[in-house]
């Protein structure tokens, strides 16, 4: 869904130095460089991407298909597909995701909750561990 050629375009920007008080919903892609005090939601009818840059602060719930965080989020983060936590990401709240990419330096103060569509799918992906004894 999110290969490099088919990512939704970034169509909205909350610029550095701007502050938005209230809920914010968007379609396609959005970038936050400023501050949002409210929930940020990508509409579910089409693929969405949200970029929270190094200078950004979001206080509220975050929901989109593809979420990239390199700033601060104070609230839960829900990535319907992919969550990327860049080195300066600071999240205070639980995170939900199908796929997680977490860089060294990123911090989450909350629970990591993977979305599993099928329990059998999860069991099939886990490798079987075999313990061997070193007794001669």
Into how many domains does the chain fold? Answer: 1
The whole-angstrom separation of Cα 22 and Cα 114 is 28
**What pLDDT was estimated at residue 118?**
60
Residue 86 has pLDDT above 70, yes or no: yes
Q: Which of 5-9, 94-98, 106-110 has the lowest mean pLDDT?
A: 5-9
Three-class SS state of 114: strand
Quick check: is 5 in a domain? no
Quick check: is 121 in a domain? yes
Sign of torsion, CA 44 46 47 49? negative
Quick check: is 134 in a domain? no
Query: pLDDT band at 13, cuts 50/70/90?
Result: very high
Residues 19, 77, 7, CA angle at the centre, nearest 5°?
85
Domain containing 88: what range?
Answer: 10-125
Mean pLDDT, rounded, of the chain: 88
Quick check: is 69 in a domain? yes
Quick check: is 44 in a domain? yes
Quick check: is 80 in a domain? yes
């Amino acid at each position: 869904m999110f290969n490099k050629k088919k990512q939704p375009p970034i169509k909205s920007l909350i610029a550095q130095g701007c502050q938005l008080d209230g809920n914010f919903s968007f379609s396609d892609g959005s970038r936050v460089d400023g501050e949002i005090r409210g929930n940020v939601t990508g509409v579910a009818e089409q693929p969405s991407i949200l970029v929270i840059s190094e200078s950004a602060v979001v206080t509220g719930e975050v929901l989109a298909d593809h979420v990239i965080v390199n700033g601060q989020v104070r609230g839960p983060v829900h990535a319907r597909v992919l969550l990327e936590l860049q080195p300066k990401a600071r999240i205070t709240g639980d995170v939900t995701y199908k796929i997680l990419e977490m860089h060294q330096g990123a911090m989450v103060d909350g629970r990591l909750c993977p979305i599993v569509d099928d329990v059998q799918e999860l069991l099939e992906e886990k490798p079987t561990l075999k313990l061997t004894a070193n007794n001669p």
